Structure 1
């Protein structure tokens, strides 16, 4: 067996072992990943506070209190909304089944015969009504370790504040921080822009559903905010429960209006506003973004879907640091990456 083939099999085996280990340690990994990304998001405001003569410990304390208050408010609201929605879920499911039966009878009256038993056996529309509850419960399990997440964020922020001093003490022996800075800047820029766009999307969704009179409009707005982070299919997943609820609660006209509102809001925010502020994008091809969604979602669940793009960005940046793996980074990137690397090599 050649050295290349042997290296390929060894690398593949290592990859499989790492993936299996990550799946086995999901309950431990998810809180720490959330803490790491929260710390990255919190670093700019913390740096701003320190520049304005606030001590690092006081800055960390201010950010921690803000995070804690936000967690309590959002957690309390989501918990109450899910509880109320779960209590009413059987009623909504029954109404949806009744509507489906009425539509089938209407089709039959117009000479369109549908095998009702076969249809209901293979497609139960009421199951879709429980989608939001299941998805939010997944995030609820991840946020159950709130204390661990906040404690880890505090330690990471304190360590981040002390890191420049440690680097100066190392002198000439200090390792290069170029790749680390690039990673932090890239992820921070992505999360900041995506966060603001998602927030506006959630607010507009809440306002539109409130105008239509759909129940739990604020909850659906929160779901729209969260799932705007999920590439490709996030918008569709977030739209299904409220559109079905509008159908059950207010009728077909309101359901069409809700669906149209989702389409317009996400077309503007996702296709016009976000690309304008995101610039050249996240440095990943469209196919890689979709595959990363499937891969990280499979390993880490709903949180993996949310963090699929920044996690893949980290992998790509890590691959770029080594000449032997740089070709993989080019494959993960869009078409322009190959041209960029040619320019770098010429320089």
Structure 2
């Protein structure tokens, strides 16, 4: 018998990490192409139940393509229109509050003098804090999204091609279920979890946005509709999306009505976010995401670095796709899936009894794995 030699685990990890870095660097270099492609994929996956419903009712082939494509184009064009108006409104917002900011500077200097803080120190702190930077960063974020959506010809062509191939692709996946069951199941879970995540996030994002608009209108904060749209967009950004949606209206509340208005905006946003997104939304979203808090935050950083603002919006769907292709499709990837989701695998999983009750069988099985 010949002794079978296996590579060290550390070497395999390093090679995989190097491959991941090279792949992400390559994707970043062609982000202008990959970004619209991934956006089109997520949108087509989101509307695929419409095609399935029409197919069950015996709709003709052209209708199976036209209806989902029309829905996606309406959503896409609506987002482009909203982002365009937002950029135009943000462009003239910061200069309009120059006098209010100067008054706040004087009040801060007077307060610092009464507290015994040197004017040089407070002036340095004030110079480092420029509210216009917040609007500039926000405008840059929206402009980055608009730059992706500006490639409408490429996105429309991709959407049309994917809608045309959706039915054939579905048949191919069904025929391959007997050969690659884990891969097919993983892709099906990705599509189902992505649709659930997008639908639930959109519904509760609209609820939060409507409540935010009502609060801002009652408090007299300018452009409440714009900040409601911003809250809806940032709802798809995990972890830090709430902060991004809160900063501009809170700053405007400070410039418009002082500290009381700013604190009112912050308290109202936090209360709405806690009730809707922390208490109610998880009950409907369930385990659709399947990513731990740490992995979600790392996904946000990685996909934003690779694809820019679009990567921040699509961080969860892209991470679900990566998990489906690299982990869930692997028959031996249960431990990695548990590590990423932050949940231990069930005790009644296949082979768990032999692993816990028979150490000798565990050794034999591990040697048999290629």
- TM-score, length of structure 2 as denominator length: 0.84
Distance 2:294 2:334 in 1: 19
Q: Which residue of 1 aligns with 2:143?
A: 137
In structure 1, the partner of 2:80 is 75
Aligned to 1:268: 275
**Alignment partner for residue 43 of structure 2, among 38, 61, 66?**
38
Q: Aligned equivalents of 1:155 and 1:320: distance in 2?
A: 27
CA distance change for structure 1 residues 74 and 103 in 2, over 3 Å: closer, same or farther? Answer: same
Q: 2:51, 2:68 within 8 Å by CA — same for their partners in 1? A: yes
Q: Which moved more, 1:42-51 or 1:66-75?
A: 66-75
**How far off its partner does 1:233 sit?**
0.9
> In structure 1, the residue corresponding to 2:346 is in which secondary structure?
helix
Aligned to 1:295: 302
Tell me the CA shift for residue 76 of structure 1.
Answer: 2.6
Corresponding residue for residue 7 of structure 2: 3
* Unaligned 5+ runs, structure 1: none
CA distance in 2, matches of 1:326, 1:93: 57
Matched, 1:202 2:206: no
Q: Does 1:89 align with 2:97?
A: no
Distance change (3 Å), C-alpha of 1:167 and 1:33? closer
Distance 1:36 1:329, change over 3 A: same
Deviations 1:98-150 (A, max 9, x none): 31332222331354445123213433343223232122111111111123223
- Which runs of structure 2 are paired with 1:233-248 in the superposition (5 Å)? 233-248=240-255
Partner Cα distance (1:178, 1:307) in 2 = 22
Equivalences for residues 47-66 of structure 1 within 5 A: 47-66=52-71
Say if 1:167 and 1:73 are closer, same or farther in 2 by CA, change over 3 A. Answer: closer
Call closer, same or farther: CA 1:206–1:329 in 2, change over 3 Å.
same
TM-score, normalisation: structure 1: 0.89
Give, in whole Å, the separation in 1 of the partners of 2:296 and 2:208: 21
Partners of 2:23 and 2:211 lie apart in 1 by 41
Q: Which structure's CA Rg is the greater one?
A: 2
**1:75 and 1:250, CA in 2 relative to 1: closer, same or farther beyond 3 A?**
farther
Aligned to 2:233: 226
Q: How many equivalent residue pairs? A: 344
Q: How far, CA to CA, are the matches of 2:200 and 2:209 in structure 1?
A: 14
**Change over 3 Å in CA distance of 1:128–1:98 after alignment to 2:** farther
